[in-house]
Amino acid sequence: MAAPITLHLEFGGGAELLFDGVKDHQVTLPSQSQPWDMKQLLVWIRANMLKERPELFVQGDTVRPGILVLINDADWELMGELTYEIQDQDSVVFISTLHGG
Amino acid sequence: MPILCSSCEKKRAVLKRPKTGHSLCKECFFWAFEEEVHQTIISARLFNPGETVGIGASGGKDSTVLAHVLKVLNERYNYGLKLLLLSVDEGITGYRDDSLETVKRNEQQYALPLTIVSYEELYGWTMDAIVKQVGLKNNCTFCGVFRRQALDRGAMMLNVDKICTGHNADDVAETVLMNVLRGDIARLRRCTAISTASEGEGVVPRCKPLKYAYEKEIVLYAYFNKLDYFSTECVYSPNAYRGHARTFLKDLESVRPSAIMDVIHSGENLSVREGVRMPVQGTCSRCGYISSQALCKACVLLEGLNRGLPRLGIGKHHRLHGKILAKEPLTQEEERKLKAVDF
Ligand SMILES: [Zn+2]
Ligand SMILES: [Zn+2]
């Protein structure tokens, strides 16, 4: 059993509007037999955090195109995207590019 | 295992560029992004030394990044430009008032002088008041037409030689797509141009230095530089048509990142068949702004608002322009058609 994991999540660029306008969140993921990966994190966010219009944040099993994801301040495209294994104290940032000009 | 920057091979890469596929560290990314904008400016000869350049600033990510990059490049390469920020206050409570606060902070952060022109002082109408009269369906038409002219009027007041706007590659690709879908050949031909010469008296030349910059890179440039920008959607009905074009392009981009550039490339290289009629540009006989009709769109819309006939500028009512100019009364039938609010 992996121990619970504490994460810093941040939503910006307008994505925070789907989370009651709150940008910074400290969350704890429950312990489970397998390590947590990004794919599971998105499912967890959708079930536990999304306040409205989930289709504006997740699409299929990934984020909606146009939302950028940074893991520990690096583009998730460099980190394995959905398969990245989440570590305790990681920081994950979601930034919408779809808002405002 | 952190991936190393493919350029300096020393620091940890922080992003994969959609344009080139390169993995770069923060510093190498800033440099590459700024150099590309510099190349765009140089190869299209966007500016001349000594010019006063007004940056159309909305407080959003694009114009904030544009202001930041232009300031950096103006100093790095001695462009010799006098840069200033020019903002339009449409009079939208809960949206523009907040984003203007961002622009005011940018004025301090970048030490660039800011001028704000408002719909209220230029036209006597705020968007809030316009929406009260016309409702939420055609309000974006009013706003778009008024904003274009407001930027020109502000620029004229400040003796600006050129206006630059924050339109990025994604915006241009979207516009190409929308013009194809609407069959608007005249706009399709114009929309990929990086700069427009003055089309006449009262119209300041415009350019788009970020035309080839991907939205993803603009947002990451702002994020890693910790730039202060505003990202709330306008409180009035969003442009649904553009929204669909945008979603479609983002979906394409997620499969093939070059899709954005490919669409722009197609737009640039379309040739329009000889004999396609293009509207002839003249000037508005009331305010002198460019217009292909007797009255420019802004004057027609304004006349409609002031007479309580909001439909006047929506759709085609060219044959009424003569009457409006001559201040002749409209027939009851004409009035009835223009009054309906359920449009
Ligand atoms: Zn580097
Ligand atoms: Zn006019």
Reported as a single tens digit per residue, the pLDDT across B226-256 is 998 988 777 776 667 788 888 899 999 988 9
HSE at residue A85, side-chain half, CA atoms within 13 A, is 4
What is the spatial distance between Cα B42 and Cα A7, in angstroms, rounded to a whole number? 45
Q: ∠ at Cα A75 (A69, A81), nearest 5°?
A: 65
Radius of gyration of chain A (CA): 13
> DSSP characters for chain A?
-PPPEEEEEEEETTGGGGGTT--EEEEEEPP-SSPPBHHHHHHHHHHHT--S-GGGTEETTEEPTTEEEEETTEEGGGTTGGGPBP-TT-EEEEEESSS--
Model pLDDT for residues A48-59, shown as the tens digit of each residue: 999 788 888 999
Nearest residue in chain B measured CA to CA from A93: B223
Partner residue opposite B219 with nearest CB, options A65, A74, A95: A95
Token look-up 């206050």 returns: B89
> Which whole-number Å values give the CA distances from B6 to B13, B15, B271, in the listed order?
8, 11, 39
Residues in chain B: 343
> Does the beta carbon of B206 lie under 8 angstroms from any beta carbon of chain A?
no
Which-ligand-closest: CA of B293?
2
A65-79, B9-23, B128-142, B244-258, range with the lowest pLDDT? B128-142
| Contact state of B230 with A70 under an 8 Å Cβ cutoff | no
User: What CA–CA distance (Å, rounded) separates B317 from B48?
Assistant: 42
User: How would residue B115 be classed by pLDDT, with cut points 50, 70 and 90?
Assistant: very high
Tell me how far apart the alpha carbons of residues B36 and B238 are, in angstroms, rounded to a whole number: 32
- Cα–ligand 1 centroid distance for B9 (angstroms): 6
* Beta-bridge partners for B16: B23
pLDDT at B181 over 60: yes
Q: Which helix (H) or strand (E) holds B114?
A: strand B114-118
Mean of all residue pLDDT scores within chain B? 88
Task: Using CB atoms, pick whichever of B215, B231, B246 lies closest to residue A14.
Answer: B231
